[in-house]
Structure 1
Amino acid sequence: MSVQLDTDKLAAMVKSKRAGRGLRAVAHEIGDVSASTLSRIEQGSVPDVNTFLLLCNWLSVPTDTFTIADEGVATPEPATVGSDKIVAHLRADRILPKATAQALIEMIQLAYRQVSQ
C-alpha cells in the first residue's frame, strides 16, 4: 500500500492553530520541536516521525488525518490500522521505557495476528 503525508494540510492546520503567535512560543508549547522545524513544516516540509506525532498531539487530531492513500491501492484491514495506531502511541510515549514499549508492541502485534487468522 502506498500512503503519502498531506504536508499542505499539516502546514495549514499548524498555521491556523498558531494563529500568528511566534514560532518560538509555539515550539515551546509543543515541546521537543524547534522554531526552525515549525517554520519548515509550515512551508510544506515533511517532519520526522517524532515531530509528526507531537504535532498531531498538539493539534488534537489522529495521525491518519494527514494521510493520502493512492487511488486503486488496497487499504489496510481495520485490525491492522488499529494496531498501527497503538504502536505509534507506544513509540511516541516518552515516559514508557523503550524495552517495555517494544515488549507491548510485540504482544499487541501477536494478538492482532491471532485475531486475523
Structure 2
Amino acid sequence: MARTRVNVSALYAALDAAKNERQLSWRQLAAEVGVSPSTMTRMANGNRPDVDAFAALVRWLGMPAETFMVDPDGAEESTQPAEPELMAQLAPLLRARSDLGAEDVKYLEEVIGAAVRRFASDREARSR
C-alpha cells in the first residue's frame, strides 16, 4: 500500500507566499492559524507538522490537504481548490521549477503579488 506524505516544502512555500501577501510575520501567521511559532520553525527545517497543525494550516490557506500530498514515488496528488489565494497556489509551483533560481522565484512572486494587489484594488474601486 502506498504511503502518502506531506510535501513540507510545497506547504511551507504556500504559507510563505500567503504570509508575504498578507504582510504578516511568521509569528503573526502562527497566531492567526492557531499553531505554535515552533511549528513554523520546524517546517522551515523540513520537518512535518503534526496532523492538527497540518489541518489548521491548509484550512487557513483555503486549499485542500491533497494539494500538499506526495506518494512515495514523488508524484503529487492534487485537486483544484475552490478559490485559494493566487500566490499561495503559485508559490509551490514556482519554487519547484529547476530552471528558476531563488532570486528568480522571489522576483516573480513580487511581480505577480503586485499585479494581484492591483487587480484587487481595481475591483474594489469599481464596486464602490
Determine if the alignment matches structure 1 residue 63 to structure 2 residue 102: no
What is the one-letter code of the residue matched to 1:15? D
DSSP-derived class of the 2:16 partner: helix
Please tell me the residue identity of whatever aligns with 2:16. Answer: K
Question: Which of structure 1's runs of 4+ aligned residues deviate more than 3 A?
Answer: none
Is 2:58 aligned against 1:51?
no
Greater mean alpha carbon deviation, residues 4-13 or residues 15-24: 15-24
List alignment gaps of at least 5 residues for structure 2.
78-128
Identity over aligned pairs, percent = 31
- RMSD value, Cα: 1.8
Q: Distance in 2 between matches of 1:28 and 1:8?
A: 21
1:11 paired residue number? 12
Instruction: Report matched runs for 1:1-117 at 5 Å.
Output: 1-19=2-20, 21-31=24-34, 33-71=35-73
Q: What TM-score do the two structures reach when normalised by structure 1?
A: 0.54
Q: TM-score, normalised by structure 2?
A: 0.50
**Paired AA for residue 18 in structure 1:** K
CA distance in 2 between partners of 1:3 and 1:34 (Å): 25
- State the Cα distance separating 1:50 from its structure 2 match: 0.1
CA distance in 1 between counterparts of 2:31 and 2:72 reads 35
Task: Give 1 or 2 for the bigger CA radius of gyration.
Answer: 1
Per-residue deviation, residues 39-97 of structure 1 (Å, max 9, x unmatched): 221332100000000000001111111111234xxx9xxxxxxxxxxxxxxxxxxxxxx
Amino acid at match of 1:17: A
Q: CA deviation at 1:37?
A: 1.3
**Quick check: 1:15–1:42 contact (8 Å CA) kept in 2?**
no
Kindly indicate whether the alpha-carbon contact (under 8 Å) linking 1:2 and 1:69 is maintained by their aligned counterparts in 2: yes
